[in-house]
């Protein structure tokens, strides 16, 4: 297969993250502006260098650009679901490769915590039956997984425990107190079969990335992290109801492309960042990428597979959405970059980290492979 034209052509060169928590004194514009400032400084750039802007979860791209004083030649507001973190990155890579911008700032800001965001309720096709919330969709899918493959709620607990353990090594994580399998099992049901500890956090914060071409990246302040490959497959037909295949065919298609495109084998992956809005997506992601056979994800995550210092696949070393911060994939990708820089993660550093893979199992399944 001919090399994928974008392989290693685009780099992550600046990362900025705010504190995570509840910040009613500001909003997503204020948080986003702070993260952008940190990312620009991290890259060693000036605002005058930024000629592309992608804004996510911040309500208005023009207001944000006005606030931070930017007149880019490429500006875009992407949709709010978390699947759009990777999609935003992919769009930026293609814009940079096409020469339509030189340095793109991608800025995510979320003040859902102080706005008391519910992620459920309101109108919708299934509202007359009380069906609402992304968590309920995942609960429905995981019950099906349990039925088909014999997976259990207790298997999900191993995921939550691993991510919380990692958060304990991350001073910026919101939830750092260790939890046990029993704590997970004793936590209240939100939408059965999912417990509270199967759900991600809701908190305020912001993340910004600066992306540019590999040529330009060589001259910047921090060592570049390469976007080696990415792939995407959507599952939108009959998407008013949960996908009967639990997104597996789409994820398999992504897997069939992403490693080839990156020129990196699955076995060479040193760490994973998995979009963990709800614990079942971790199982769907691992199965879909082929880290374990279909249906065996629950067994696979038991006994520390995803834990730093214990398992083969350290996953969500920041604590992820469950324990670090609900930044809808943006902070997971920031963590991927930091792991590959090797000098920012302290006690949660993956040893000899060369390759990190991001995976997002949703109606728009995506994966990105980063290398140093």
Partner 1 sequence: MASPTAYRKPLPTIDVWNKPFWDACREHRFIAQKDNRSAHVWFPPGPVCPTNRSSDWRWVDLSGRGTVWSWVAFHQKYYDGFESEMPYNVATVELDEGPRIMTNIVNTTNDKIHVGMRVGVTFHDVDDGLAIPLFQPLAEGGR
Please list, residue by residue across 99-116, b when 16 or more beta carbons sit within 10 angstroms of its beta carbon and e when fewer do.
eebebbbbbbbbbbbbee
Q: Closest approach of Cβ 250 to partner 1, in Å?
A: 17
The verdict on 132 binding partner 1 (CB under 8 A) reads yes
Q: Does 120 sit near partner 1 (CB under 8 A)?
A: yes
Distance of CA 339 to the CA centre of its chain: 14
Give the interface segment with partner 1, choosing from 88-96, 132-140, 175-183, 316-324 (CB under 8 A). Answer: 132-140
Give the count of residues interacting with partner 1 (CB under 8 A).
Answer: 33
Please give the Cα distance from 144 to 148 (Å, whole number): 6
CB 197 to partner 1: min, Å? 14
The answer to whether the peptide bond before residue 193 is cis (omega within 30 degrees of 0) is yes
- Nearer to partner 1 (CB atom), residue 74 or residue 119: 119
C-alpha 278/C-alpha 346 separation (Å) is 27
Pick the binder of partner 1 from 19, 41, 181, 190 (CB under 8 A).
190
Residue 121 found at the interface with partner 1 (CB under 8 A): yes
**C-alpha closest to that of 201 among 171, 160, 231:** 160
CA distance 76 to 13: 20
Distance CA 348, CA 365 (A): 27
Site string for partner 1, 191-210 (x = CB under 8 A): xxx-----------------
- φ/ψ region of 267 (left if φ > 0, alpha if ψ in -120 to 50, else beta) reads alpha
Q: How far is the CB of 268 from partner 1 (least distance, A)?
A: 36
- Look at residues 296, 280, 291 and name the one whose alpha carbon lies nearest to residue 367: 291
| Contact between 47 and partner 1 per CB under 8 A | no
Nearer to partner 1, 31 or 191 (CB): 191
- Report yes or no: 201 and 172 within 8 Å, Cβ to Cβ: no
Contact pick of 97, 118, 182, 265 for partner 1 (by CB under 8 A):
118
CB 279 within 8 A of CB 198: yes
Nearer to partner 1, 68 or 194 (CB): 194
List 29, 142, 275, 358, catalytic entry: 275
Closest CA to 105 of 349, 347, 330: 330
Tell the smallest beta-carbon distance from residue 122 to partner 1 (Å). Answer: 8
Residue 47 vs 189, nearer CB to partner 1: 189
CB 168 → partner 1: shortest distance, Å? 27
Candidates 19, 131, 214, 292: give the one binding partner 1 (CB under 8 A). Answer: 131
Q: By CB under 8 A, name the one of 1, 123, 177, 215 that touches partner 1.
A: 123
What one-character DSSP code corresponds to residue 188?
A: P
Residue closer to partner 1, measured from CB, 245 or 260: 245
Applying CB under 8 A, does 128 fall inside the site for partner 1?
A: yes
Q: Please tell me whether residue 136 binds partner 1 under the rule CB under 8 A.
A: yes
Give the HSE-up count for residue 78: Cα atoms under 13 Å, Cβ half-sphere.
Answer: 23
Is 2 a binder of partner 1 (CB under 8 A)? no
Q: Active site includes 103? A: no
Q: How far apart are CA 173 and CA 324, in angstroms?
A: 4
Task: Name the residue nearer to partner 1 (CB basis): 280 or 288.
Answer: 280
User: Checking DSSP bridges between strand 74-78 and strand 52-56, what pairing results, if any?
Assistant: parallel
The region of 113-121, 206-214, 220-228, 335-343 touching partner 1 under the rule CB under 8 A is 113-121
> By CB under 8 A, is residue 351 in contact with partner 1?
no
Contact flag: residue 150 with partner 1 (CB under 8 A): no
Nearer to partner 1 by C-beta: 194 or 211? Answer: 194
Query: How far apart, in whole angstroms, are the C-alpha atoms of residue 177 and residue 136?
Result: 26
Q: Does residue 1 bind partner 1 (CB under 8 A)?
A: no
* Secondary structure (DSSP) of 310-324: TSSS-B-TT-HHHHT
Instruction: Say which residues have a Cβ less than 8 Å from residue 259's Cβ, sequence separation at least 6.
Output: 229, 265, 266, 369
Residue 199 is among the residues annotated as catalytic for this protein: no
| Residues near partner 1 (CB under 8 A) | 118, 120-121, 123-133, 136, 139-141, 143-144, 147, 188-193, 237-238, 240-242, 244
Query: Which amino acids are annotated catalytic?
Result: 275, 326
């Amino acid at each position: 297969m001919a090399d994928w034209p974008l392989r290693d052509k685009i780099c992550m060169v600046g990362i900025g993250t705010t504190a995570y928590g509840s910040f009613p004194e500001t909003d997503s514009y204020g948080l986003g502006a702070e993260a952008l400032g940190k990312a620009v400084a991290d890259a060693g750039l000036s605002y005058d260098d930024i000629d592309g802007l992608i804004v996510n979860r911040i309500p208005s791209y023009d207001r944000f650009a006005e606030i931070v004083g930017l007149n880019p030649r490429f500006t875009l507001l992407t949709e709010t679901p978390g699947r759009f973190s990777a999609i935003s990155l992919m769009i930026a890579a293609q814009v940079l490769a096409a020469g339509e911008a030189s340095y793109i700032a991608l800025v995510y800001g979320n003040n859902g915590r102080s706005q008391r965001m519910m992620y459920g309720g309101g109108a919708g096709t299934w509202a007359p039956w009380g069906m609402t919330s992304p968590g309920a969709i995942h609960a429905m899918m995981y019950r099906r997984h349990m039925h088909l493959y014999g997976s259990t709620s207790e298997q999900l607990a191993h995921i939550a425990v691993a991510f919380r353990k990692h958060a304990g090594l991350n001073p910026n994580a919101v939830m750092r107190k260790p939890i046990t399998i029993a704590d997970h099992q004793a936590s209240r049901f939100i939408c059965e079969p999912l417990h509270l500890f199967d759900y991600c956090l809701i908190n305020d914060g912001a993340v910004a990335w600066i992306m540019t071409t590999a040529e330009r990246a060589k001259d910047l302040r921090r060592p570049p992290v390469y976007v080696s490959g990415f792939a995407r497959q959507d599952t939108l037909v009959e998407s008013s109801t949960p996908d009967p295949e639990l997104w597996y065919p789409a994820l398999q298609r992504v897997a069939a492309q992403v490693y080839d495109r990156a020129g990196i084998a699955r076995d060479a992956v040193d760490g994973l960042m998995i979009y963990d809005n709800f614990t079942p997506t971790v199982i769907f992601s691992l199965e879909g990428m082929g880290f374990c056979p279909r249906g065996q994800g629950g067994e696979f995550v038991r006994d520390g597979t995803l834990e730093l210092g214990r398992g083969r696949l350290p996953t969500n070393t920041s604590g992820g959405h469950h324990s670090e911060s609900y930044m809808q994939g943006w902070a997971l990708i920031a963590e991927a970059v930091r792991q590959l820089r090797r000098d920012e993660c302290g006690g949660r550093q993956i040893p000899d980290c060369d390759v990190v893979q991001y995976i997002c199992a949703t109606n728009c399944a995506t994966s990105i492979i980063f290398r140093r």
